[in-house]
Amino acid sequence: MAPRPLLVAGVVTLIIGLLVPHYIQHWFSSRIREPVDVPAEINSEKTQTIHFNINFHATYWVELELNETQDPEYCSPGTLPRPSWKVDRLARWYERGSVPWADSSAGYGWANVDGFRAPSGAYLLKMTFPKGTECLRERQPRVVIRTSDLYSYEEGANIFSNLFLYFGAVGLGCVAWALAIWFRRYFSNEVSLRLFPEVVPRNHLRLLRHRPMPLITRLPNFGLMYGAVLWILVFFFMIFAGQGHYYGLPIELGTRYSLAGQKSPSQETLGVYLAVGEKYHVNGQLVSREDLRTRLQQELSRRADWTVYFEADHDTLNMNAIFVMDTIQGLGAKLVWITPKVREELQQKDQPARQLR
C-alpha cells in the first residue's frame, strides 16, 4: 500500500479517536448536577427566590438539608409545619411569559422531597417557610436541587470513549506503518529491472515518483495474504460454528390471575389506576392522595377476597407508583400489577368472548 494514503488515513483516524473522547469528557464535566445549593432564608414574611439554570434534560429533586451536628430537642422537623416551594420556567426569547412548572403539592416527608422533570433552560425557585420554623436557623438549613440521572449515561459514554480510543490507536499504528514503509524505501537499495540498464531513467514530473518494480521471484504482499486467510476463516466459523444457541437457566414467567369474588358479598373487582398528574382512581372514582388508604380500607372491609389490581399510566413517576403499592400491601391485601403486557393479554382473551356473543 502507498504510504501517503495510509499516512493520511492514520492521521485522520488518530485525530478523531482523540477528539471524540475529549469532547465526551468535557460534556460530562460541564453538566450541572446541583443547579441550586444556597443557604435557606427562613422568614415567614418573605418568599425566597432563587434563579438557576439547567443544561441537560433530567429529573431534579428539591431538598432542604439541615446540619446534623446541631439538633436542638425543641426544634424537631417532624413537629414543624412543612415549607412549600414552586418552580417556574422563565420565558425564552420566543415566549411571552413564564410558565408554572412544578410545586410541592405532591411532596412527601417534612422537607417536601419531590422530583420534577425539566429540560434545559432558566428557572425560578420560590421557597416559602411558614410560621413556627424560625428555630431551624440554628441548624444552618440549605436549599438544594440535584439530579442523579447523569450517572446512568456514564457507562455507555465510557464504552463509546474506549471505542474511539481504540480507533486512535489504530490510526497511530497506520501512521507508524506508513513511516516504516517510507524509511524502508528511502534507505533500501532495491534492484530494479530495466530493459536498458545503462540508461538512467529520468522523471520529468517531479511530483510523481515511480515505485521500483519488485522481482517476480518474491512473495506477494504478506498483509493481503494474511488478511484473506483470516477473513475466510472468520466467515467459515460464522456460518458453520455459530449456528448453536446457548441459553442460561430457563425461567418460566407464568401470569396468574386471581378470581375475585368467589364467596364475596361484592362481585366487583377492586382496582386502582394511577394517571398523570398524581390522579388516583379507585374503581373509576377520583380519590386524593391522603384519602387513598382510607378508601381502600373501606372497600376491602366489604370483600372476602382482598385482591387489588393496580395499573399505572406510562408517564407517571415511579415514586407515586411505589406509594400506591406500599399502601395496598400495608393493608394486607394481595397486589396484582397489571403491566402493559398483561393488559394486552387480557384484551386478547376478551376478544373471542365478545365475538361469540
**Residue range 23-49, pLDDT digits in tens:** 988 888 888 889 999 998 888 788 889
Looking at the predicted structure, is the pLDDT value of residue 123 above 80? yes
- CATH number for the domain harbouring residue 277: 3.30.420.270
Would you state the pLDDT for residue 53? Answer: 92
Q: Same domain, yes or no, for 55 and 127?
A: yes
In this prediction, residue 341 carries a pLDDT of: 72
What per-residue confidence (pLDDT) applies to 28? 86
Based on the domain organization, do 154 and 290 belong to the same domain? Answer: no
Q: Which of 52, 58, 62 is nearest to 28 (CA)?
A: 58
Contact call for residues 341 and 139 (beta carbons, < 8 A): no
Q: How many CA atoms lie within 13 A of 313 on its CB side?
A: 12
CA distance 43 to 356: 69
Give the pLDDT confidence score for residue 344 in this predicted structure.
72
Is residue 96, in this structure, part of any structural domain at all?
A: yes
11/3 Cα distance (integer angstroms)? 12
The number of distinct structural domains making up the chain is: 3
Could you tell me whether strands 307-312 and 334-337 are parallel, antiparallel, or unpaired per DSSP bridges?
parallel
170-179, 234-243, 332-341, 344-353 — which one is most confidently predicted on average? 170-179
Grade residue 70 by pLDDT with cuts at 50, 70 and 90: low
Lookup result for grid cell 504482499: 221
Q: Both 309 and 330 in a single domain?
A: yes
CB atoms near residue 12 (< 10 Å)? 12
The answer to whether residues 40 and 167 belong to one domain is no
Residues 42 and 133 in one domain: yes
Q: Are residues 87 and 115 in the same domain?
A: yes
- pLDDT tens digits along 274-286: 887 788 888 888 8
Domain co-membership, 162 together with 24: yes
Distance between CA 64 and CA 145 in Å, rounded?
9
Which domain covers residue 348, as residue numbers? 270-356
Rounded distance between C-alpha atoms, residue 156 and residue 139, angstroms: 40
> Residue 168: pLDDT above 50?
yes
Average pLDDT over residues 184-191: 69
Closest to 110 (Cα-Cα) out of 74, 61, 76: 76
Q: How confident is the model at residue 88 (pLDDT cuts 50, 70, 90)?
A: very high
At residue 263, does pLDDT exceed 90? no
pLDDT above 80: residue 91: yes
250 pLDDT exceeds 80? no
CATH of the domain at 84: 2.60.120.790
- 247 in any annotated domain: no
What predicted TM-score, i.e. pTM, was given to this entire model? 0.45
Q: What is the pLDDT of residue 112?
A: 55
pLDDT single digits (tens) 317-338: 888 888 888 888 888 888 887 7
Q: Where a domain ends, among 118, 146, 174?
A: 146
Measured CA to CA, the distance from residue 176 to residue 205 in angstroms comes to 28
The yes-or-no verdict on residue 210 having pLDDT over 90 is no
Residues 158 and 20 in one domain: yes
Do residues 122 and 171 both lie within one domain? no
Grid coordinates of 282: 379507585
Look up cell 490507536; give the residue. 169
Which pLDDT value is given to residue 259?
41
Residues 331 and 292 in one domain: yes
In the β-sheet with 84-89, what is the strand arrangement from edge to edge?
48-54, 121-128, 84-89, 99-103
Residues 212-216, mean pLDDT to the nearest whole number = 60
Q: Do 11 and 83 lie in a common domain?
A: no
- Pair 282, 299: CB distance under 8 Å: yes
Same domain, 21 and 66: no
> What is the H or E stretch that residue 337 is in?
strand 334-337
Take residue 170 and report the three cell numbers written for it: 489504530
